[in-house]
C-alpha cells in the first residue's frame, strides 16, 4: 500500500530512534488486546481512565458526526489504534494518522488506514496543506502546552484550515505530569500532559490566532471546532518526510 500526502506525493515511513512514554508495554499490550484497564496517573495519584475498548472498536455514531464535519485531507494527530483514519479511508477520504506508539501505527495500518510513527512536533508530510486536523480522545493535551500545540497545528493546516478537538467534559485547564498505568502498580515513564475543557481551549485558541467555529456535545463527549486565521502559506522543507531526533511527548 502506498502512502500519500494531500497532493498525492508518496510518504516514506521512518521510525524515530528515541524511546517515548507511549511506547511502554502497558499501552502497546492494551492496544494489541483491545482492552484495559489503563489510566493516566498524576503525581498526586489521581487517575484518568483511558477508553481503550472504544478506541479499538469501529468508529461509533459520535465519531461519525465528527468525521462528517471534516474538510479536505485529514490529519489525525495521536491517531491511536486508528478507528477514525480507517473509517475515513473506507469512505474514500484522504487521511493520515500520526502517533508516537508503534503499536498504534501498526493497528491503524491493519485496519486499512495510513499512519506514520511520528510526533506532531517532528516534520510531518504535507505541512501547510492539510484541510482538517483532528485531536480526538483528549489529544488536546499532547505535550502539556496547549499554546505550543495550537501553534504547531496552525503550521500543518492550509490557510483557513479546520481543527476539530475533543475537550474534557468539565471546565478544566491544567498542565500536569502523568504516567501510563494499569492501576495495579505497573507504570510507564512520566511525561507532560494537559487537560482542557472547551472554555479553556477557546481562550487559548483566541490568543493563538484561531477563530471559534462551533462547539457541541454528543454521547457525553465534548468538542470544539476552530479555524486557522493564518493566511500565508508556510513553505514545506525539501524533505517533508525526514525525521529528527528531538521529540516532545504525545
- What pLDDT digit, counting tens, does each position of 124-166 carry? 999 999 999 999 999 999 999 999 999 999 999 999 999 999 9
Q: Does residue 245 lie in a domain region?
A: no
Q: Does residue 243 lie in a domain region?
A: no
Count of the separate structural domains present in the chain: 1
Helix (H, G, I), strand (E, B) or coil at 90: helix
Q: Which of 188, 90, 198 is nearest to 135 (CA)?
A: 198
Q: Does residue 37 lie in a domain region?
A: yes
DSSP 6: T
- pTM beyond 0.95: the answer is no
pLDDT category at 230 given cuts 50, 70, 90 is confident
Please report, for the domain that includes residue 211, its CATH number: 3.40.50.150
**Averaged pLDDT for residues 217-242:** 70
Does residue 225 surpass a pLDDT of 90? yes
**Averaged pLDDT for residues 107-132:** 97
pLDDT for res 25: 80
Q: Does residue 5 lie in a domain region?
A: no
- Cα separation values, 212 from 20, 192, 199, Å: 33, 26, 11
Amino acid at each position: 500500500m502506498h502512502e500519500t500526502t494531500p497532493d498525492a506525493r508518496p510518504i516514506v515511513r521512518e521510525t524515530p530512534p528515541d524511546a517515548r512514554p507511549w511506547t511502554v508495554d502497558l499501552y502497546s499490550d492494551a492496544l494489541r488486546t483491545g482492552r484495559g484497564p489503563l489510566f493516566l496517573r498524576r503525581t498526586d495519584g489521581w487517575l484518568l481512565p483511558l477508553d481503550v475498548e472504544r478506541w479499538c472498536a469501529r468508529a461509533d455514531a459520535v465519531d461519525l458526526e465528527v468525521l462528517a464535519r471534516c474538510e479536505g485531507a485529514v490529519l489525525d494527530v495521536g491517531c491511536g489504534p486508528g478507528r477514525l483514519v480507517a473509517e475515513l479511508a473506507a469512505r474514500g477520504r484522504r487521511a493520515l494518522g500520526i502517533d508516537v506508539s508503534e503499536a498504534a501505527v501498526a493497528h491503524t495500518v491493519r485496519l486499512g488506514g495510513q499512519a506514520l510513527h511520528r510526533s506532531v512536533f517532528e516534520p510531518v508530510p504535507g505541512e501547510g496543506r492539510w484541510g482538517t486536523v483532528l485531536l480526538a480522545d483528549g489529544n488536546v493535551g499532547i505535550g502539556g502546552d496547549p499554546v505550543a500545540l495550537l501553534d504547531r497545528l496552525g503550521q500543518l493546516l492550509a490557510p483557513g484550515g479546520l481543527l476539530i478537538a475533543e475537550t474534557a467534559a468539565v471546565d478544566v485547564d491544567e498542565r500536569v505530569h502523568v504516567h501510563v498505568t494499569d492501576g495495579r502498580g505497573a507504570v510507564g515513564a512520566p511525561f507532560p500532559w494537559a487537560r482542557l475543557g472547551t472554555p479553556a481551549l477557546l481562550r487559548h485558541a483566541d490568543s493563538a490566532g484561531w477563530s471559534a467555529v462551533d462547539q457541541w456535545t454528543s454521547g457525553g463527549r465534548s468538542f470544539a471546532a476552530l479555524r486557522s486565521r493564518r493566511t500565508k502559506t508556510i513553505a514545506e522543507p525539501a524533505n517533508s518526510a525526514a525525521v529528527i531526533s528531538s521529540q516532545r511527548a504525545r
